[in-house]
Structure 1
Amino acid sequence: MYALVDCNNFYASCERVFNPNLRNKPVAILSNNDGCVISRSDEAKNIGLPMGAPIFKWDNYCKQHNIKVISSNYPLYGDMSDRVMKILSQFTPDIEIYSIDEAFLQFKGFENYELNSYGKDIKNRILQWTGIPTCVGIAPTKALSKVANKIARKFLDETNGVYVIDSEEKRIKALKWMPLDNVWGIGRGLHKKLTAEGCVKAYDFTQLNSEMVRKKYSITAWRLQQDLLGKPTMELDEEKDKKAIATTRSFEYTYSDIENIKERISTFATNCAEKLRKQKSSCHMIIVLLRSDRHKKDLEQHRVSKTVILPYPTNSSLVISKCAVEAVKTIFKPGIRYKKAGVIVTGLVPENNFQLDLFSKENPKHKPLMLAIDQINKKYRSNSIKLANQDLERTWKMRQERLTPKYTTNINDIIVVK
């Protein structure tokens, strides 16, 4: 059996843990640079605030309906997510972290367990230890556990947040209830094609000829159909090293001077290097991106990238930052107001297994230096040590005018009990 554990309105729930005054009130969380709504509490949904609403258009609407609008606080959300996932690992060793707020669990050897009670134990422990409300869907396959989770979330009072599909009768009833476009794994393209086949509910999709689905659509669609039929074809995904690592961000303001852009590129490159070292990889290639503000149609536009091939693989922040900064200097165009930049490292190889070069190699002092920097930054859970060409005050320069404290990741923001 599989379980899908999903945190309810995760970003809003994190804020409510530390500010109980937000409970039972409409809350909306904004994207980077306070752009648009990316998370809403149930109360905000019921009022009619749409997902993705640009806040500059909906600000007055939020004020009229007393919707609390908050800047996204990613350090807080990431830390709370880590706490939830660690709790889930106590219930089974087989876990796949699917996103920041949901995870699949596999129950091997749990034949004698009463899974509805076990699901409630999971839900209650997470709520007690973190304050985050969750819903749990349990079923014989991953796709059906997604369906069960949606039922638990939709009918919260009847299910108490936990629903188990453990019989053929429950499976058929659930699929006849589930709209086709709400099925996990069915995107707009596939939904359009299946609608032409006469499919309205998830159950209709399972009644199509399996060989026809495999030949006409794809092996992925066939696997999804088999999963919905109760035949496990999608196992838990193992954590794999990434084949490329990217850090791209929009600036809080448009920049037209090279010095500010060089500082941002250095920060992005350093972040990529840290991620490389974390997965014990090195890169052969760096791609630097620079974009103007596409929304400012009256201004001259400029979209450009530069690829740098390294003479040897590296994960040194010093080397990657230097190469990225040199690259952005060659593509920067004076007079353009840039809004977004990014660094991508690719051509990844294991850091201790790559082809050596007879004539060029990395400074041997870099490796122990990077190790020392990573250890210090990990110990103090912040970027305590940075390169000299980085902004020492902030990692990401984003517009966050409604930001809440970092309650769990910054010692100065810890709640004081009086």
Structure 2
Amino acid sequence: MYGLADCNNFFVSCERVFAPRLEGIPVVVLSNNDGCVISRSNEAKAIGIRMGQPLFQASPLIRRHGVQVLSSNYALYSDMSHRVMTTLRSLVPAAEVYSIDEAFLDLSGIPTGELSALGRRIASTVRRHTGIPVSIGTAPSKTLAKIASKLCKQYPKLHDSCLMYRPEDIAKVLRTFPVQDIWGIGRRHGPMLRGAGILTAGQFVQAREEWIRHRMGVAGLRTWKELRGEPCIGFEHTPPAKQQICTSRSFAAEATDPDDLRRAVALFTAQCAEKLRRQGSVCSEVQVFIATNRHRPELPQQYANRILSPPTPTDSTLELTVLAERALRSIFTPGFGYKKAGVILSGIGPRAAVQTSLFDPSDRGRQTRLMKALDQVNGRFGRHTLVTAAQGFDPVKTNRNHVSPNYTTSWDELPEIKV
């Protein structure tokens, strides 16, 4: 059996841990630059604020209902996620972190009759240790466990734990569960299935296996089997290496100066390279993209990107920064105001598998030692203590007008208790 622990309205819940005054009132957390809504309390959902809705569109509802608006505080959310995952690992045989607010639980060997109570115990323990509410869904496959966790949020009488294993119970749930909400269906297959008259998960599992394979391939067939109670997605005890690494950011104001964009792209490249080294990988492709503000149609619009490859797959910040700067120069067009930029590393593989060329212009051993020293300095004294000259020390300017303190990651912002 598989479990899924899903933190409820995670970013909002993190804020409420340190600000109890936010309990019971509508709260939203915004994306970078306070652009769009990325987390909503149940109260905010009830008044009609949509996920991903731009702040300017939601402003009338926010003013009318006195919604508390907060800027994203990813340092806080990451630390709280680590605390939740650590607690989960102490309660089950193994936990597989799926995202910042979700983890699959390995419940094999535990008697079925004990799983519902175990789910409630896990939810109450996580809430007691971290302050974060979680929903525990338990089922014979990961995809069904995802559905079970959603039911927890819809039906409070389940008390944060939904065990779904009997075929008749599964069939009853799938009969009305929207097909577009199935894990693994996504935006690509959802419209196709609805166009074929398949609107619910129940209709999906009744489709012929050959039709599913022909229209959706192996991935769709795997989802189809998972919904029928046949586990096809194994439990990963160690997270797989990322096959693509991206760092992107929206700017506080449209960037027209190429030097500002160059510094931002250099910073994004350094952050990507750090993640690449952390997982012991190298990349063979660097993509840089820049985009204007699509919410301002009265301004000239452009989206441009360029992909370049190093002579040898690398994890060196210096080599990748040179490529990223070259790519940026080739796509930057004067006269446009760019609102967003990003760097994507792809063609990722293990560092140990790299075969260098006899004519490689770089000293690989020296680059490796230099990057190791860079990571050690920044790990000990704080991120961006040691940087490349291209990125400089000035941070990318962003709008964070409603940000909360870093309660758990900064000595200067620890909560204060007045007695």
Aligned to 2:47: 47
Instruction: Tell me the SS of whatever aligns to 1:70.
Output: strand
Matches for 1:314-333 after TM superposition, within 5 Å: 314-333=314-333
2:159 counterpart letter in structure 1: N
Instruction: Tell me the SS of whatever aligns to 2:75.
Output: helix
User: C-alpha displacement at 1:26, in angstroms?
Assistant: 0.5
**8 Å CA contact retained: 1:126, 1:132:** yes
Aligned to 1:390: 391
Q: Distance in 1 between matches of 2:79 and 2:68?
A: 22
Matches for 1:171-182 after TM superposition, within 5 Å: 171-182=170-181
Scaled by the length of structure 1, what TM-score is found? Answer: 0.91
2:66 counterpart letter in structure 1: N
Q: 1:361 to 1:110 in 2, by over 3 A?
A: farther
Matches for 1:305-320 after TM superposition, within 5 Å: 305-320=305-320
User: C-alpha displacement at 1:21, in angstroms?
Assistant: 0.7
**8 Å CA contact retained: 2:29, 2:40:** yes
Q: Distance in 2 between matches of 1:187 and 1:349?
A: 27
User: C-alpha displacement at 1:250, in angstroms?
Assistant: 1.8
Q: Distance in 2 between matches of 1:210 and 1:283?
A: 38
The answer to whether structure 1 residue 366 and structure 2 residue 367 are counterparts is: yes
Instruction: Tell me the SS of whatever aligns to 1:4.
Output: strand
Q: Which moved more, 1:77-86 or 1:15-24?
A: 77-86
**8 Å CA contact retained: 2:37, 2:51:** yes
Aligned to 1:267: 267
Q: Which moved more, 1:249-258 or 1:202-211?
A: 202-211
Instruction: Tell me the SS of whatever aligns to 1:339.
Output: strand
Q: 1:193 to 1:314 in 2, by over 3 A?
A: closer
Q: Distance in 1 between matches of 2:392 and 2:42?
A: 39
Q: 1:323 to 1:187 in 2, by over 3 A?
A: closer
1:111 counterpart letter in structure 2: P
Unaligned segments of structure 1, at least 5 residues: none
Note the alpha carbon deviations across 1:248-300, whole angstroms, 9 max, x for none: 22212111112211110110111111112111122333222222333333333
Scaled by the length of structure 2, what TM-score is found? Answer: 0.91
User: C-alpha displacement at 1:113, in angstroms?
Assistant: 6.6
User: C-alpha displacement at 1:17, in angstroms?
Assistant: 0.6
Q: 1:315 to 1:179 in 2, by over 3 A?
A: closer
Instruction: Tell me the SS of whatever aligns to 1:233.
Output: coil
Q: Distance in 2 between matches of 1:290 and 1:111?
A: 54
Count of aligned residue pairs for this structure pair: 416
Aligned to 2:299: 299
Q: Distance in 2 between matches of 1:211 and 1:66?
A: 53
Q: Which moved more, 1:349-358 or 1:181-190?
A: 181-190
**8 Å CA contact retained: 2:31, 2:71:** yes
Instruction: Tell me the SS of whatever aligns to 2:136.
Output: strand
Instruction: Tell me the SS of whatever aligns to 1:314.
Output: coil
Q: Distance in 1 between matches of 2:308 and 2:371?
A: 22
% identity of equivalent residues = 38
User: C-alpha displacement at 1:206, in angstroms?
Assistant: 2.6
Aligned to 1:153: 153
Q: Distance in 2 between matches of 1:313 and 1:189?
A: 32
Q: Distance in 2 between matches of 1:212 and 1:307?
A: 37
Note the alpha carbon deviations across 1:41-72, whole angstroms, 9 max, x for none: 00111122222222113223212211001111
Matches for 1:7-406 after TM superposition, within 5 Å: 7-111=7-111, 114-156=114-156, 158-187=157-186, 190-195=189-194, 199-237=198-236, 239-363=239-363, 364-380=365-381, 382-394=383-395, 396-406=396-406
Q: 1:281 to 1:182 in 2, by over 3 A?
A: closer
1:220 counterpart letter in structure 2: A
Q: 1:362 to 1:68 in 2, by over 3 A?
A: same
Q: Which moved more, 1:293-302 or 1:98-107?
A: 293-302
User: C-alpha displacement at 1:148, in angstroms?
Assistant: 1.6
Q: Distance in 2 between matches of 1:218 and 1:313?
A: 31
**8 Å CA contact retained: 1:312, 1:361:** no
Q: Which moved more, 1:129-138 or 1:408-417?
A: 408-417
Q: Distance in 2 between matches of 1:172 and 1:328?
A: 53
User: C-alpha displacement at 1:154, in angstroms?
Assistant: 1.0
2:166 counterpart letter in structure 1: S
- Tell me how large the CA RMSD over aligned residues is: 2.4
2:288 counterpart letter in structure 1: V
Matches for 1:406-417 after TM superposition, within 5 Å: 406-417=406-417
**8 Å CA contact retained: 1:312, 1:362:** no
Instruction: Tell me the SS of whatever aligns to 1:291.
Output: strand
Unaligned segments of structure 2, at least 5 residues: none
Q: Distance in 2 between matches of 1:223 and 1:39?
A: 30
Note the alpha carbon deviations across 1:162-195, whole angstroms, 9 max, x for none: 1111323322332234333433333455444544
Q: 1:231 to 1:385 in 2, by over 3 A?
A: same
User: C-alpha displacement at 1:226, in angstroms?
Assistant: 2.2
Q: Distance in 1 between matches of 2:391 and 2:195?
A: 55
Q: 1:231 to 1:34 in 2, by over 3 A?
A: same
